[in-house]
Each structure stands twice: as C-alpha cells, then as structure tokens.
Amino acid sequence: MPNAKAAGSAAFEAPTLAVFEEGGGFVLRAEGEWLVETAGLLDETLSRLALPKGGRVVFDLSRLSRLDTAGAWLLLRTEGELSRRANRVEMRGLPPLFAPLLAQLRASGAGAGPGALREEVSPFLAFLAHLGEITLSLSRRGAGMLAFFGVIVAAAATLLGHPRRLRFKATIVQMEDTGVNALAIVGLLSFLIGIVIAYQGSDQLRRFGAEIYTVNLLGVGILRELGVLMTAIIVAGRSGSAFTAQIGTMRVTEEIDALRAIGLDPVEVLVMPRFIALLLTLPMLTLFADFMGLLGGAFLSATALGIPIPQFLGQLRSALSPSTFWIGLIKAPFFAAIIALIGCYEGFEVSRSAESVGRLTTLSVVESIFLVIVTDAAFSVLFSVLRI
C-alpha cells in the first residue's frame, strides 16, 4: 500500500505514517516528529486508515525522532479503536525515551475515548441505540426511586415504633418553609387562575345565553382538578427543587458522610421531616388554593358578569356535590409523596460537583411535574370508571 503522509511545518521533521502488509497482517510505521504542531494533519491521516477487521496490526515506532503528549495520544487512540474492531494490536520498537510518556497516558485511559476510526452506522440503528440507552436509563432511575421509596417506608415504620426519634422541630421548620411561606404565591396564582377560567368560560357560554353556568364550570374545574394540580406544580417547582438543592449541597460538602460517621441515618434525619411536612402541608395549601380560585371567579363574576356574590354562592351550592370537594383533596397526599420522594432522591443522587446540584435540581422539578400530571390522569380515569 502507498505511504500516507502528513506534511508538517517547515520547522519540524515531517511526520509520516507508512502502511504495508507483513506476514498476513499490517505494519504502521511511524516516522519523524509526532508533535502537537502537526497533530491536526496526523489526525486526518489516521482517520483515513481503512484496515480490515480482525487482523493483526503492528505499530513500528522505532523511527520516531520526537514525541509529545498529543502524538502519544493519537497513537493510543488509534490502538484503542483498532482493538475495539477486534484487531490484534502490537507496538514494537518504541524508543526508551518515549516509554514513560506512553505508559502514563495509557494508565490514564487515554486510549479509551472516541477515536478516528469510525464505522458507518445507519441513522435508524443509531436512533434505536439512543432509544435503548434512554430506556435503560429510565428503567434504572425508576428502580432507584422504588428502592428509595422502600427505604422511606422502612424509616417510617421505625419512627412509628419509636416516635421520639422523629425530629419534631425539623418537621415544624419544614412545614413553615413548604406551607406557610408558600401561601402568598399559591394564593396569588390561584386567584388569577380563577379569574381566567371565569372570563374564558363566560366568553364561550355567553353565545348560548348561559353565563350563569360559568359558576358551575369554575367550581367543578377548581375543586376537582386545577386547585390541587396547580398547587402541586407550584410546590414541585418551589419546595421539591429546594429539597434536591439542600440535600445535594450537603452531599457535595460531605455533611451526609459526616452524619453516617456519627451513627445517624441520613434518611431519618433529612428525608422524613421533609416527607411528613409536605404530606401535611400540601392538602392545606390545596384548600387555600381552592378558596382563592373561587374567590377570583366570584370577583370577576360580580364585576364583569353581573352575578352578585349571593347568587354566585347559591349557584355554586347547587352545582357541587360533596364528592366534588373530596375528589380534589384526596389527590393531595399522593402528589405530596411524589414531590418529596423525587426531590430527596435526586438530592442523594448528586455527585461531588456543583454542576451536578444544578442539573439534578432541574431534573427533579421536571420529573415531579411529569409524575404529578400522570398521576392526576390516572385518578381521572379511575374516577371515570367508578362514575364519581
């Protein structure tokens, strides 16, 4: 086969790579100065190699005059790519002067990265491979969350047997943070959502002369679905992300390791107060959101639709049944468990870097909102089957 040459700078002895057959295999003879200055051209030369799979390949390095880290990395990268293609790779004739550099790079895993000898993969197969990776990753995360939920259940059983082990003050602090401090944002958004629903509903019902049924639409929509759903989404973005950031930061600063070192269970100390606090506060926030949403709708009805407050309340009473109120409220503990579980789980998944804290905090919010909506859809199907 002809020589494949990479022209170097005039200041250097031009590096070359000669390829020829020998004993049923191939020999790659590297000559000249393999330096960072000519690494780009050498990379192009190596990328054009077309060697058959499964054969024997020998790197002849006896004629190398100079070698730096970039040149050594190119050699190891090509060696790794050939090995992954089932070639039997051997390096011979390496000058003793360059042996320590090559050994150090090899120990650092320099040959394990992606290389220049790439196989053509069809887009469809690449898509299937990517889809498979995503599926496996989601399966592992799902299994991890289920295992973490089991740990929480075991910790809860321990606390039931030994109630004094519950950190009551920490739970109260978390209730204040997740509940009391969230009243303003939950109330404001619920009030505005009530106004929006009443306005949009009346705009459509006006065409049929049925504006009074705006009250029915508002009551059922807020109490059955939107009150608890919007509250859960707000809490997931506010408190669920805070759980991940707080626990993740403690993991980065090795405070969790310190808790284990002094004989304390991090789940019992960090997770259970947050979990219990959210289970208690989310139903109460849902009640507040329902009230503020109905208040916003009543305000718009009185000011824009000509429906006075007494008439609004009378129509609301006739439109609702006791089950309407409880259907929305019964979802709140389930949503709270999902948000607390994911927020704390992602916090423990943080690695020893600040970048990981931010990435998993964002992931925690996305996963919480997604699972809350999926659970809400499952409840809707269940209530429909039960005709509730």
Regarding predicted confidence, which is higher, 19 or 335?
Answer: 335
The sign of the CA dihedral 215, 221, 224, 228 is negative
For residue 95, which of 64, 71, 59 has the smallest C-alpha distance? Answer: 64
Residues 6+ apart with CB under 8 A from 386: none
User: Average pLDDT, stretch 340-361?
Assistant: 90
d(CA 355, CA 362): 11
- pLDDT for 286 beyond 80: yes
- Residue ranges of the alpha helices (H) in 262-353? 266, 272-300, 309-319, 322-348
Over residues 304-334, the pLDDT tens digits come to: 888 899 999 999 988 888 888 889 899 999 9
pLDDT at 4: 43
Confidence at residue 110, expressed as pLDDT on a 0 to 100 scale = 59
Write down the pTM of the prediction. Answer: 0.68
| 23 vs 287 pLDDT, higher one | 287
Relative to beta strand 25-34, strand 16-22 is: antiparallel
Buried-exposed string 96-109: b where 16+ CB fall within 10 A, e elsewhere = eebeebbeebbeee
The better pLDDT of the pair 378, 90 is held by: 378
Structure tokens at 145: 């969350």
> Averaged over 273-298, what is the pLDDT?
95
26 pLDDT band (50/70/90 cuts)?
confident
pLDDT of residue 12: 56
- Please state the rounded mean pLDDT for residues 153-162: 92
- Over 50: is that where the pLDDT of 3 sits? no
59 vs 81: CA distance, rounded Å: 13
Q: How many residues does the chain have?
A: 388
Work out the percent of the chain whose per-residue pLDDT is above 70: 93
Which tokens go with 350?
A: 């943080």
For domain 4-112, say whether CATH 3.40.50.880 is its number.
Answer: no
Partners of 21 in the beta sheet? Answer: 26
Reply yes or no on whether the pLDDT at 116 is more than 60.
Answer: no
- Mean pLDDT of the 83-89 span: 80
Does 5 score more than 60 pLDDT? no
Beta bridge partners of 88: 56
- The pLDDT-based confidence of 121 (bands split at 50, 70, 90) is low
Could you list the beta-strand ranges (E) of the chain.
Answer: 4-5, 16-22, 25-34, 56-67, 88-92
The pLDDT mean for the chain works out to 86
Which tokens in the block code for residue 49?
């190699």
For the stretch 165-185, pLDDT in tens is 889 999 999 999 999 999 999
Domain assignments of the chain as residue spans, ordered by start: 4-112, 145-385
Which SS3 state, helix, strand or coil, does residue 5 take?
Answer: strand
Average pLDDT over residues 191-208: 90
Q: What is the pLDDT of residue 109?
A: 67
Share of the chain above pLDDT 90, in %: 46
